[in-house]
Amino acid sequence: MEQQSLRMNDCLENVVKEYSKMVYRLAFSQTRNKSDADDIFQEVFYRYIRKKPQFKTEEHRKAWLIRVTVNCCKKMWTSIWIGKKLSLIVQKDEPIVFKMKEETNLHYELQKLPMKYRAVIHLFYYEDLSIEEISKALNQKPSTIRTQLTRARYKLKEILKEDYDV
Amino acid sequence: MFREKYHRMNEQISPDQELVNKIIHSVDEPKRETNKAKYFFRRPITIVAMLMVLVLTATPVLAANVPAVYKLMYFVSPTVAQFFIPVQKSCEDNGIRMEVVSSYIHDDTAEIYITMQDLIGDRIDETTDLYDSYSINRPFDSSATCQRVGYDKTTKKETFLISIKEWGNKKIIGDKISFSVREFLSGKHEYNEIPMAIDLTNINNTQAIKLVSIKGGSGPKFKEYVPNFESKVKVLVPSAPMDFPVKGIDFTGIGYVDGMLHIQTSVVDNLTKDNHGYFFLSDKNENKIQCAYSVGFAENSDSANRVDFDEYVFDIPQAEIGQYSLYGTFATSGLFTEGNWQVTFPLEEIKNN
């Protein structure tokens, strides 16, 4: 028997509206380009539609979407077919325009941050998740997340120098 | 502050409304959904078909003279292992040889196998961690990652796979890249759920405390006790290191503060060690009780004498603590090795017949 969701807002439209920015920004934080973020965004929600996952709480839904987004980014990156994929679909790279120059600069500086740290930095600094919450969402030990965060901050300090207090 | 600027930047990033609508309406268009998804992760049958075409049209150069690495390459990705071409450029420093074994360049992506081998000792082992000290210099804008693939006990070689993808979907053949490593960690030791010889019934509740700015924290009650990262947090004043079974981690405090059990550890110069762990309590029925929250803070953070502290806080009344035993799980690195290893090599493509 199919498990019934306890939530009222399982309607796809509500879920997409509620989490579209979170998924997209997390994807963008890792790819740092719009066309890849578009692909990840679509893949995450197509998986959601296909799998029809049931959640007891919104926290579980959010964690699922975070985990799938990060996994899709990893898969895109590690896929040996990435070159083939890029040649098969029409390229639509559009440089993202930020209001302030320092935001554009920050965007470019963040491209220097190793891929493996981008998700923890985003979830910690933008989604305001604790190490515990990140570890649950990414299915990793809190100690691993803490180590990644410490190393990521250290890297960020190197990259951003004294421009920002990380 | 980075947090505020990062927030402002991200607030300007949103998916196009057209894209959002497409997803919402895609439940009514199952065929389109399938087609779109196929673009991203292609089905195995398609991969096999494309591989067959590639096998028939290209002449793979087998890296047969590097059998150990070749085995690992097959283990990681058997279908593409044969497309790697040997590079075999190496350098030595501090008794350690780094060698670029082979590479596979396709379109805007380069995958490169590199080995490190200790010629005079056992500093390279299965726990070797390049500790982010590696850098990949290339004359084009790109993203790069380096991951550990495996360790060969016979040759004492650790193998790493570097992946580089150029931005802008341009071919990178003909360019040269340099891979360098400055330092690495090895000799990692794990302590899993070891009992702590601490009498919990005899804990001081008048321990000196201080307020500190934290660098991070976690735990189910973290947000309850630490509303934001800018707030100051009560921690134990560190004592001289006490007896502790884990070499590389100092036990610097235990005490009751505001009715909660605080346990503190520290690591000197942890940026060259990455020693870490956590505590938990176990009751008589062997139920594990994790800390309510933990915080990390540092002293002398901008000097060579930096000390990183972790404080674990358990929400168990002092009257009941005698019913529990304290355990810990830790990981430490025994060796930190520095050197100057750098190899420059061209990115070359497999030549067709």
Please write the tens of the pLDDT for every residue from B139-166: 766 667 778 888 988 888 999 888 877 7
Report pLDDT for A29. 95
Confidence label for A3 from pLDDT (cuts 50, 70 and 90): very low
A79 vs B contacts (CB less than 8 Å): 41
B301 pLDDT band, cuts 50/70/90, is: confident
CA distance linking residue A160 with residue A106, whole number of Å? 8
Q: Tell me which H or E stretch contains B161.
A: strand B157-166
Contact predicate B10/A26, CB 8 Å:
no
Look at residue B58 in the predicted model and tell me its pLDDT. Answer: 39
The count of CB pairs under 8 A between chains A and B is 173
All residues of chain A having their beta carbon less than 8 Å from the beta carbon of residue B219 are 130, 132
Tally helices (H) and strands (E) across chain B. Answer: 6, 17
Interface test with A, best of B11, B18, B24, B38 (most A CBs within 10 A): B24
pLDDT above 80 (res A9)? no
Torsion, CA A140, CA A142, CA A147, CA A149, rounded to 10: 90
Flag whether residue B17 sits within 8 Å of chain A, measured between CB atoms.
no
Are the beta carbons of B268 and B199 closer than 8 angstroms?
no
Does the predicted interface ipTM exceed a cut of 0.95? no
Question: Percent of chain B, pLDDT > 90?
Answer: 34
Which of A14, A17, A49 has the highest number of chain B CBs within 10 A, making it the mutation to test binding with B? A49
Residue B276 pLDDT: 87
Q: How far is A45 from chain B (nearest CA, A)?
A: 7
pLDDT, tens digit (0-9, with 9 covering 90-100), for A28-83: 999 888 888 988 999 899 888 887 888 878 888 999 999 999 988 887 776 534 44
pLDDT band at B353 (very low <50, low <70, confident <90, very high): very low
Is the model more confident about B298 or about B64?
A: B298
Dump strand ranges (E) for chain A: none
CB contact under 8 A, B168 and A93: yes
Q: For residues B265-279, give the mean pLDDT.
A: 86
Tell whether the model's pLDDT for residue B315 goes beyond 70.
yes
B6 reaches A (C-beta below 8 A): yes
Q: What pLDDT, on the 0 to 100 scale, is given for residue B141? A: 65
Residue B167 has pLDDT above 80, yes or no: no
B22 touches chain A (CB under 8 A): yes
C-alpha B25/C-alpha B154 separation (Å) is 57
Does A125 contact B at CB distance below 8 Å?
yes
Calculate the average pLDDT of chain A.
79
**Predicted TM-score of the model (pTM):** 0.50
Task: Tell whether the model's pLDDT for residue B39 goes beyond 60.
Answer: no
User: Hey, is the C-beta of A36 within 8 angstroms of any chain B C-beta?
Assistant: no
Residue A90 near chain B (CB below 8 Å) = no
Range with lowest mean pLDDT among A131-135, B133-137, B152-156: B133-137
Give the CA diameter of chain B: 81
DSSP classification of residue B232 = E
B287 touches chain A (CB under 8 A): no
Give residue-wise pLDDT tens across range B72-102. Answer: 666 656 556 666 778 878 999 999 999 988 8
Residue B330: per-residue pLDDT:
92
Instruction: Give residue-wise pLDDT tens across range B101-115.
Output: 888 887 778 888 899
Q: Average pLDDT of B162-174?
A: 71
A51 close contact with B: CB closer than 8 A: no
Using only the alpha carbons of chain B, give its radius of gyration. 26
Q: How far is A56 from chain B (nearest CA, A)?
A: 18
Query: Which residues in B lie closer than 8 A to residue A149 (C-beta atoms)?
Result: 216
